[in-house]
Amino acid sequence: MEIIVCVKHVPEVAEVELRIDKSGRDIDRSGLVYDINEWDDYAVEEAIRIKEKFGGNVTVVTIGDENSDSTLRKCLAKGADKAIRITDKRINSSDPFIVAKVLSETLKKISFDLILTGVQSSDDGYAMVGPALAELLGIPHVTMAKKIEIKDNSIIVNRELEGGLGEVVEIEMPALITVQTGINEPRYVSIMGIKKAMKKEIRILSIDDLGLNEEEVGVDNSWLQIMEMYIPPVERRAEFIKGNPEEVASKIVEIIKSRGLI
């Protein structure tokens, strides 16, 4: 089975105080630490597990500069077989439709049975690339997968829905599935895996190799453009009350009275 996994190299911002850059349309990325997108990590693990059970190859694909190689090497170290990086400054990577277009032209040149992506990326959270990519490739897709089972030439997928609900669907291959966190437990990278990954080639492509031009993938003709990025103003702040229990209780009563609640 030939499996493609689309991955993204993203900044880790959970414990970072973000700043807006001078353009006002992006965050200041200086000094940020990057790693594989969390949802994509689960997708890579699921692909490797399917390969281990049914045989075949796993190819990881990303759009980014040479810094993205660390994420691709991590995937190779875990068990992926091939890696492709599309690098071109003319690509408007902030537009999920453009990203899907570039990926679709890349994958049209590759034989595949299954494409896996993360449900969304942690940096923009659009959750659009997977479904848009499937539409451009003309293949069925399923989102929010929590369990995947291969059955002959079809796939049974357990989906996570809102409100605690679930859904089970069956689709024929080739297909695309977006993977939710918790579908598995991603493995750690072994020292042996790292050594093997460093010897594997990362194939690098530009939009010229894909038969695309700047008008098709640039900012001017993007469907979605970031006009402004800002940090929401703080409207309320938590107040920490210090003192012994009697002092704290007295202060709470004063606050409640001042707001006309009693």
Rounded to 5 degrees, what angle do the CA atoms 2, 116, 112 make?
25
pLDDT score for 53: 95
- Judge residue 215's burial from the number of C-beta atoms within 10 Å of its C-beta, 0-12 exposed, 13-18 middle, 19 or more buried: exposed
Residue 222 in any domain: the answer is: no
Work out the burial of residue 132: count CB atoms within 10 Å of its CB; fewer than 13 is exposed, 13-18 middle, 19 or more buried.
Answer: buried
Structural domain count, the chain: 1
What is the reported pTM?
0.86
**Largest interatomic CA distance in the chain:** 74
Using alpha carbons, select from 80, 56, 57 the residue that is nearest to residue 7: 80
Spans of the chain below 50 pLDDT: none
Q: Say if residues 93 and 64 touch (Cβ distance below 8 Å).
A: yes
Domain membership flag for residue 249: no
Cα 198 vs. chain centroid, distance in angstroms?
Answer: 23
> Looking at residue 163, what is its pLDDT?
84
56, 110 Cβ separation under 8 angstroms: no
Residue 241 is assigned to a structural domain of this protein: no
Q: What is the pLDDT of residues 226-239, one digit of tens each?
A: 889 888 887 777 88
Spatial distance between the Cα atoms of 173 and 155, rounded to a whole number of angstroms: 7
pLDDT digit string (tens) for 190-218? 899 999 999 999 999 999 999 999 999 99
Assign residue 104 the CATH number of its domain. Answer: 3.40.50.620
Q: How many CB atoms lie within 10 A of CB 258?
A: 8
Look at residues 98, 37, 99 and name the one whose alpha carbon lies nearest to residue 72: 37
- State the pLDDT at residue 6: 98
- Give domain status of residue 256, yes or no: no
- In angstroms, the Cα distances linking 17 to 28, 77, 198, 200 are 10, 31, 33, 36
In a domain, 250, yes or no: no
Residue 15: give the domain boundaries: 2-217
